[in-house]
Amino acid sequence: MKILSNIKDYTVDIVTGFDEIKALIELEDPFFVVDQKVYNLYFHELFNKIPTKKLYLVDALETNKTIDTALLICEAMLGNPSKRNSRLISFGGGIIQDITGFAANILYRGIRWTFVPTTLLAACDSCIGGKTSLNYKSYKNLLGTFYPPESVLICPSFFNTLDEMDYNSGLGEVFKFNLMTGENGLINIEKDIAALLARDTKLLVGYIETSLAYKKSYIEEDEFDLGIRKHLNFAHTFGHAFETSSNFTIPHGTAVAMGIIMANRVSLSRGLIDKDFVVRSEKMLLQIIKHRNIESLICVDVFVDAIKKDKKQSGDGINAILMNKELQLIIVNDLKIEEIHEGLNILFEHLKG
C-alpha cells in the first residue's frame, strides 16, 4: 500500500514471516531503536547481531514518551558516524513510534526512518498518518509534529507474543474502524469475533488492511487534521479521558472501545441511533474489554475534567464525534455533563465484577 503525503509518500507492506525483518536488521547503515520487551523476546531470533553502538533500547512506558527520550536517541545517533542521510529503524508499538518519529523528524531536520510495528494497535492504526506525539508534564500527547516514516513493515508474527490486554487493545481500534463504517462493519465483527480473539493471522491481516485502507482515505484527504480527519477521533474524546483518569492503566485501544460505548449511548439518548446497533456493538466491545469495576479506577470528576481539557476541544461547548441514524459520523459541540455521567453509569454497570 502506498500512502500519499504532502511531506513524502511512503509505503506499507505486510509480510508473513521474519525473513524481510532479518534482512532489514542486516543492513549496514541504520541505527536501531527497539522496545526493550520486544528486544528481550526476539533477541535470539532477530536482534542478537545488532552491535550495541547502533542500538538504543526503550521501555514502552508513557513516562518515557518524552522529549528527553527523543533527545537521548538523537545523542546516541551522534555517537555514530551519522550523517544527514543516516537511517533510523524502530521496532515497537505506538509509544516507540511516537518517540522515534519525533527524533527522526528533528535530527538534522529529518532523517530516513523505517517503522516496524510490533503491536496490533500500531499496525492497524498509528503506523500511518504521520503523527508524532510526546507527553509533557501531565499533558498527554501535547508536543508533536507530522513526520511519516519512509516505509512501514508489518509482520503479524509479532502479535503472537502480545499479552491479552495489549492484543485486545489493538482490537479496540480494529472494531472502531469497522463500526465507523456502520452496519456492514458490525456484521463482519459479529461473524469473525471468535477467530479474531483466537488471533487467526490470515483473518487479522485482512482486518489490518481494511483498517489502514479506511484511515488512508481520511489522511490523504486531510493529512494535517484540519477537517474530515477529525472523524477518526470517533470515541477518542472519551477514550483519552479513560486513559488519563485511570493513570494509563487502561490502554489506548481499550479506552477507545469504552469510548465507543459512551459515544453510542449519547447518540442513543439523543435519538440519533437505533438501540439494536448500540446493543449489538456493546456485545462485541464487551468481549475485548477485560477490565472490571472500573469505577474504583476512575474518578468521575477527573474524567469530566479530562474531556474538557482534551486538546481536541475547541470553542465554548464540549465537542464529541457521534453517529447519526444513517450511521454517519457527526461532530457535536454541545455535549452535556449529564450525558457523560449517564454513559459512565451504563459502562460501570456493564463492567461490574
Ligand X SMILES: NC(=O)c1ccc[n+]([C@@H]2O[C@H](COP(=O)([O-])OP(=O)(O)OC[C@H]3O[C@@H](n4cnc5c(N)ncnc54)[C@H](O)[C@@H]3O)[C@@H](O)[C@H]2O)c1
Q: Residue numbers of the site for ligand X (CB under 6 A)?
A: 35, 37-38, 41, 60, 62, 65, 92-98, 118-119, 121-122, 125-126, 129, 131, 133, 141, 158, 161-162, 166, 169, 251-252
With CA atoms as reference, report the closest residue to 339 among 291, 307, 293.
307
* Nearest alpha carbon to residue 235 among 260, 261, 270, 211: 260
In the bound state with ligand X, the residue whose beta carbon lies nearer, of 160 and 293, is: 160
* Residue 89 DSSP SS3: strand
- Residue with smaller CB distance to ligand X, 42 or 277: 42
CB of 129 to ligand X, least distance (A): 5
Name which of 66 and 188 has its Cβ closer to ligand X: 66
- Helix or strand or coil: residue 74? helix
Measured from each CB, the residue nearest to ligand X is 94
Q: What is the DSSP string of 44-60?
A: IIIITTS-GGGEEEE--
Q: Which is nearer to ligand X, 174 or 273 (CB)?
A: 174
Q: How far is the CB of 280 from ligand X (least distance, A)?
A: 26
**How many other β-carbons are positioned within 10 Å of the β-carbon of residue 101?**
28
Strand, helix or coil for residue 336: coil
Residue whose CB is less far from ligand X, 166 or 339? 166
What stretch of H or E contains 204? helix 201-221
Cβ 183 to ligand X shortest distance, Å: 26
Three-state DSSP at 134 gives strand
Residue placing its CB nearer to ligand X in the complex, 96 or 273: 96
CB of 125 vs ligand X, minimal distance in Å: 6
Distance between CA atoms of 129 and 148, rounded to whole angstroms? Answer: 7
If you count them, how many residues does the chain have?
353
| Strand 329-332 relative to strand 320-323, pairing | antiparallel
Q: ∠ CA(166), CA(102), CA(153), 5° rounding? A: 55
| Identity of the residue, 63 or 328, whose beta carbon is nearer to ligand X in the bound complex | 63
115 neighbors 149 (Cβ within 8 angstroms) = yes
Nearer to ligand X, 60 or 268 (CB): 60
Q: How far is the CB of 234 from ligand X (least distance, A)?
A: 13
User: Shortest distance, CB of residue 60 to ligand X, whole angstroms?
Assistant: 4
Q: In angstroms, what is the minimal distance from the CB of 240 to ligand X?
A: 9
Residue for grid cell 516514516: 149
Query: Minimum distance between the CB of residue 191 and ligand X, rounded to whole angstroms?
Result: 25
Which residues are paired to 151 by β-bridges?
Answer: 11, 114
Strands 139-146 and 112-117 turn out to be: unpaired
